[in-house]
Amino acid sequence: MTRYGQRNPHEKSWAFAYAALCLIVTAAGWTTVMLMASDVDATAPSTALIAAGPTPTNEATPTVEITPGTTPLNVGDAPAASPTKAAFNIDLYRPGTFVSQITREYCMAGAVQNMLNIIGPATDVSSDRQQQIGDLLVSLTSAQDSYNGGFGPIGWSLIMSKLGAGQYQLVIDATFDKAMKDAAVALAKTMRPVGLLTWWGAHSWVMTGFKSDSDPLLTPDTFKLKGAYIVDPFYPRVSSIWGQTLGPDSFRDMTAMANNFIPWKRPEGRYPDRDGKWLLVIPVDPPASASPSAPASPSA
């Protein structure tokens, strides 16, 4: 029997064993913790830093909106530069091609002859040639085209293709500015002269060129005309109303053009589709291969 206050030797052994076991468990636990900590990437941000920063998003792929009628651009392409405005001057007149109308009434036949000579390649300034043109014009002019017979603007448009100068058409515009711009664009595009019905539609001029602040084919909506080069078959006559006519290939500024190229108004009657409007005969395609100077008869 053990005396009170005195430890049993077996109890001491168990105490030492228990203490040692505690030390071993503690050491093992600490080692495990350290090993786990060593596997963590020290450079990775902490959860707290990620939460505090901006929310990451996926970058969207760029898109291009294509307007109908336009050429699509590749992503990153720079937009095409706008055309640079520069003074523009064109004149198709060829020296030696001018011919005066053979009578006071033959202005349209004279205008056609001048146009054919300018288009070329041959030149014919004879009176016989103009008489042939006049006869063909009469055959191509209907009663609706000219109430008093003779020559009409539709006949003018038809005779050009008949004589191998390419297709022409009658254009009727509501304003002077529109008519002049239509004439300039057609002339620059086809490189052929334009016919103008001047003096209230009583006379015929040929527009062989013009000056503008830019090329109408590059800036069709913004170009401004400064004037036109005109061949007047009435030269060298003097008009009782309009005065002395100017020689061939004379430049007329826009004021002079507006004073002569005035709205249609004929004494023989009303033309509902023409009255108060501007008439012109413009080229609409490249010239035909046939020579415009080839002889023509009224039945051609």
**Residue 244 falls inside a structural domain:** yes
CATH number at residue 135: 3.90.70
The pLDDT value given to residue 291 = 40
Please report, as a single letter, which amino acid is at residue 88. F
CA dist 98 and 21 (Å) reads 129
* Residue 60 domain flag: no
Residue among 133, 273, 298 nearest 204 (CA): 133
How many Cα atoms are found within 13 Å in the side-chain-facing hemisphere of 281?
Answer: 28
What b/e sequence results for 78-112 when a residue is b if at least 16 CB atoms lie within 10 Å of its CB, and e otherwise? eeeeeeeeeebebebbeeebbbbbbeeebbbbbbb
d(CA 130, CA 23): 131
pLDDT of the residue at 131: 98
Task: Tell me, yes or no, whether 177 lies in a domain.
Answer: yes
57 inside domain: no
> What's the number of domains the chain is made of?
1
- Smallest CA-to-CA distance from 106 within 193, 234, 279, 208 is with 234
**Is there a domain that residue 76 lies in?**
no
How far is the C-alpha of 19 from the C-alpha of 26, rounded, in Å?
11
**Residue 236 maps to a domain:** yes
For the chain, give the number of residues: 300
Angle of helix 153-162 relative to helix 107-119, nearest 10 degrees, comes to 30
111 within some domain: yes
137 by Cβ neighbours in 10 Å (0-12 / 13-18 / 19+) ranks as buried
Return the pLDDT at 85. 83
For residue 220, tell me if it sits in a domain.
yes
- 282: which 2 tokens? 């413009």
C-alpha to C-alpha distance for 254 and 231, rounded to whole angstroms: 16
**Assigned token pair, 116:** 């054919």
User: Could you list the residue range(s) of the whole structural domain that residue 206 is in?
Assistant: 88-283
Per-residue pLDDT of the chain (300 residues; tens, 9 = 90+): 434 344 444 444 544 544 555 454 444 454 443 434 444 343 333 333 333 344 444 433 333 332 333 333 344 455 555 667 899 999 999 999 999 999 999 999 999 999 999 999 999 999 999 999 999 999 999 999 999 989 999 999 999 999 999 999 999 999 999 999 999 999 999 999 999 999 999 999 999 999 999 999 999 999 999 999 999 999 999 999 999 999 999 999 999 999 999 999 999 999 999 999 999 999 997 654 444 433 333 333
The whole-number pLDDT of residue 51 equals: 34
pLDDT given for residue 20 in this prediction = 53
Least Cα distance to 292 among 93, 174, 124 occurs for: 124
The residue ranges of DSSP E strands in the chain, in sequence order, are: 88-91, 168-173, 194-198, 203-212, 225-231, 238-239, 243-244, 250-253, 278-283
The C-alpha atoms of residue 211 and residue 91 are separated, in whole angstroms, by: 9
pLDDT value, residue 16 = 53
Could you give the CA distance from residue 203 to residue 162 in angstroms, rounded to a whole number? 22
